Structure 1
Amino acid sequence: MKVKKYIAPTMSEAMNLVRVELGNDAVILNSKVIQTGGFLGFFKKRSVEVIAAVDPTPKAVPKVKEKQKLPPVKQPKIDFIKEPTIVADTIKQSNVNVSPTSLDKSSTDLLKELADLKDLVKNIPNTNGQESVQFLYPEPIQKINRRLADQEVSPHIKDELLSLLLEKWYVDGANHTDEVIIEWAKNELNNRFSPYSYGEITFEKKYVNVVGPTGVGKTTTLAKIAADCALKYKKKVALITTDTYRIGAIEQLKTYAKILSIPLEVCYNLEDFKNACDTFRDFDVVLIDTAGRNFRNKQYVEDLKKVINYDEEMETLLVLALTSKQRDMEDIYKQFSIIKINKFIFTKADETSNFGAMVNLIDKYKIGVAYITNGQDVPDDMMSANSEIISKLILGVEQHERSS
């Protein structure tokens, strides 16, 4: 067996190196993310280290004429490469104890283990139509791979997670149940997304601006937040709506305000908005419902900034529906990013089983999530979000727990 280590900037580049040098029958024994280069511990580059192997079985001897004598065929040897440290590391990872007197037996055991592991190998799809190198994912990790692919999680997030799981798999003895691997994956995703800001509004800022396109459940979500503030936290809450384009939205919000005994001001222009802010100057929190089309107009935003200090007084939440395509969500974000978006709100979680776009947007824009809604009931059907809840949704942990 020929074993060799490759270091490349990305997993795909490392796989190409394996394919070129060892061929399409190669398998990956281990892979991990490493830091290389740098100066005095700084400016290190992130790379991927892959240990690959190939089993050099003898090629079939071509048929010859009966009278022609064949040269003696030598039995193929196990070709350990020259780098002794790589061989030692690889054998160590395979849990094989090697002594000078037992090298042949150890080699046989290693080949047997490799043959057994090959049964777990799946081919990585190749868009160029070329045959891909077999990548060694144990079955429990393959299940995570399939789950992330079904959820349409971005390839770079998926590849980095699988690399971490594979490294942990070999370090911890290469024998774990599906439940253990799911827990590993949940913890790794939780660690990846936990640095961002999550959870319900903190009342650090008086004005909460809820923005988003029509049809995502923005007005209903605003009513849920208002009910949460008034009933759960006993805050003095007021509502302002500038969404005068949709009469139905105004009537809907008026109904919610009446039920919750919360005052509502409808603002048709900047002067109305100034007056509403003055009317509610003694309130704890003022929730603002805006028209989606307003934020396409830069002047509208600039005018609002004359009334409210966005940096010191305003928290802005962008509402997106999980039933939308990720590409559409990104276009909406760009439309509203004329102002600072503090957190996302994702609605309609009950209408889809695909949550990949949620983590992709968090990862791309480095913005956390305030709430996730899963129905129309006010004040119910809304939960405060955190990285653990999001990790469970992606991995289907709650569904798995219910079925087990």
Structure 2
Amino acid sequence: MKVKRYLVDDLPAAVQMIRGELGPDAMILSTKEIKTGGFMGMFGKKKVEVIAAVDEAARKTPARAQPPRLPKTAAPEIAATRQEEPLDGRPAVPGRAVRDLYSKQAGTASGDAPSAGTAVAVPVAESPPANPAAEALLQLLSAEKGKAAAAGGVPPAGPRTAGNAAANPGDMAEASLLLNELRAMKDMMARMARQQSFRSIPESVLRWSRRLAEQGVDPVHVEQFAEEVRERLHDREVPDEAASYEAAKEVLRSWLLPCAGSGIGQETRIVHFVGPTGVGKTTTIAKLAADQSFSHRRSVGFITADTYRISAVDQLRTYADILNSPLEVVFSPGELTRAYNKMADRDLLFMDTAGRNYRNELFVSEVNSLLAPGEKAETFLVLSLTHKYADMRAVAAQFSKYGIRRLLLTKADETDTYGSLLNLVREFAFPISYITCGQTVPDDIRLFDPEEWVLKLLGEPAHE
């Protein structure tokens, strides 16, 4: 079996190449649309990948002998029964008549007109190809080639007899009908290919799409963004920079506004913080505790289960001493009840969990066992904007399985690319409650403001 891959603009071009290189017995195994070139997955040119094969051994098999042909008067009966009788033990399909006709016409044009009782080789594929449309195009090409050979001025070698298929009106009518159907199918496929071609996007829209790509937004979301901006500008043939910028802001607002989360609720009693190592959970807890204590006049307490990291307990104890708040250390879920009872007089409890490799689901399930369920408990997933989005997505996917939906992003001051924020919103629909932007306690934390992050993602428009 000889297998070959073709990368072409359209299927008819692939058919011609396959017939020329692999011969008439070739079969198309699969076809697939792919994109080549482009920028960050955008604006790539659509190509068709075609996998074709030919069985070399099948070419050497002896020709199948057809039964002796009857006199011309019996030709209509043969034409009438040809569609009903199976070939090779399989039901006859339209298109075999075309191949049969092509084989007979090729033999006539070469000077070897079959007479009654002569064996005629009929190329029949061992199994139907995987793509019916490709098979139809192969049949069309074979039939048209046979017609060209017959109409090329080459006279038949002998007088027309009952064994000559070209003299059979039934065969010719059947072939003509099939050719018309296949031509219609070919035209339909060409129209579909034109409709699916990439539509042009104005340069002013491309500018903001490139900006999002530079910000680290996933190519899939960049393409969606470009399409939505283009649709908002449909009534402008050549939109200017200002109009495109406003349309781009509207699209990002529509994406970010539904994910603007609230802060810590007044009815909340326990707040858990989970997330991987190094994202700043402990410092974030100190900022929120100071804000709740000074601004909202709530008494706070601290619980920590972060017994893996050196001096993690001491760091939180320092913050607790500054705020004059109690601290409890727990080593297992069984000790949580004791800690809650000891701080029953506190309005709000902040619980710090250990930073682990939460790409591992086992660690995720361990920390989930420490979280107290109930309507008065909230859990924040803490992620750093300085991390790669692939790692952030893996961690978010693990915690989302356990129903953790609220997001808190840290270290916004340590990066200039914010695409991961938009990726998380689009992929997980997480509400974002807080953003931290420095180490100062309690100042460097604020509620998530969609308008601020629309401007950060797009940047300022160019002023000429």
TM-score range, shorter chain: 0.5 to 0.7
Partner of residue 153, structure 2 = none
Aligned counterparts of 2:349 and 2:289: Cα–Cα separation in 1: 9
Partner of residue 231, structure 1 = 294
SS at the partner of 1:316? strand
Equivalent residues in 2 for 1:84-99, closer than 5 Å: none
Amino acid in structure 2 at the alignment position of 1:169:
L
Partner of residue 388, structure 1 = 451
Q: How far is 1:360 from its partner?
A: 0.7
Amino acid in structure 2 at the alignment position of 1:274:
T
- The reply to whether residue 217 of structure 1 matches residue 280 of structure 2 is yes
Structure 1 residues 11 and 144, CA gap change in structure 2 (3 angstroms): farther
Structure 1 residues 159 and 212, CA gap change in structure 2 (3 angstroms): same
Structure 1 residues 220 and 139, CA gap change in structure 2 (3 angstroms): same
- The reply to whether residue 326 of structure 1 matches residue 384 of structure 2 is no
2:208/2:458 contact within 8 Å kept? yes
Structure 1 residues 288 and 317, CA gap change in structure 2 (3 angstroms): same
Give the TM-score, by structure 2 length: 0.53
Equivalent residues in 2 for 1:22-171, closer than 5 Å: 136-171=200-235
Unmatched 5+ stretches in structure 2: 1-32, 36-42, 49-196
Aligned counterparts of 2:340 and 2:263: Cα–Cα separation in 1: 23
Equivalent residues in 2 for 1:187-336, closer than 5 Å: 187-293=250-356, 296-297=362-363, 300-301=366-367, 303-304=369-370, 308=372, 310-336=373-399
Q: How far is 1:300 from its partner?
A: 3.7
Give the TM-score, by structure 1 length: 0.61
Over alpha carbons, which structure has the higher Rg? 2
Aligned counterparts of 1:138 and 1:221: Cα–Cα separation in 2: 43
Aligned counterparts of 2:46 and 2:393: Cα–Cα separation in 1: 36
1:345/1:371 contact within 8 Å kept? yes
Amino acid in structure 2 at the alignment position of 1:304:
L
2:276/2:357 contact within 8 Å kept? no
1:346/1:372 contact within 8 Å kept? yes
1:294/1:300 contact within 8 Å kept? no
Amino acid in structure 2 at the alignment position of 1:151:
Q
Which structure's relative contact order is higher, taking Cα pairs within 8 Å and 6+ residues apart? Answer: 1
- The reply to whether residue 367 of structure 1 matches residue 430 of structure 2 is yes
Q: CA RMSD in A?
A: 3.1
SS at the partner of 1:346? strand
1:254-282 CA distance string (max 9 Å, x none): 11112222222122233432111112223
Unmatched 5+ stretches in structure 1: 1-9, 21-132
Aligned counterparts of 1:192 and 1:225: Cα–Cα separation in 2: 27
Aligned counterparts of 1:164 and 1:349: Cα–Cα separation in 2: 27
**Which aligned runs of 4 or more in structure 1 are off by greater than 4 angstroms?**
15-20
Partner of residue 82, structure 1 = none
1:358-397 CA distance string (max 9 Å, x none): 1111211111111111111111111211332332222124
Amino acid in structure 1 at the alignment position of 2:344:
R
Aligned counterparts of 2:202 and 2:357: Cα–Cα separation in 1: 52
Aligned counterparts of 1:167 and 1:299: Cα–Cα separation in 2: 44
Aligned counterparts of 2:357 and 2:413: Cα–Cα separation in 1: 29
Amino acid in structure 1 at the alignment position of 2:433:
A
1:208-237 CA distance string (max 9 Å, x none): 110011111111111111111111222221
SS at the partner of 2:346? coil
Structure 1 residues 339 and 323, CA gap change in structure 2 (3 angstroms): same
Structure 1 residues 183 and 233, CA gap change in structure 2 (3 angstroms): farther
SS at the partner of 2:426? helix
Structure 1 residues 294 and 135, CA gap change in structure 2 (3 angstroms): closer
2:272/2:351 contact within 8 Å kept? yes
Amino acid in structure 1 at the alignment position of 2:431:
G
SS at the partner of 1:238? strand
Aligned counterparts of 2:46 and 2:357: Cα–Cα separation in 1: 54
Aligned counterparts of 1:11 and 1:313: Cα–Cα separation in 2: 50
Residues paired across the two proteins, number:
275
Q: How far is 1:297 from its partner?
A: 4.3
Match of 1:378 among 441, 444, 452: 441
Identical amino acids, percent of aligned pairs: 37
2:353/2:367 contact within 8 Å kept? no
Select between 230-239 and 199-208 the one with higher mean Cα deviation: 199-208
1:198/1:386 contact within 8 Å kept? no
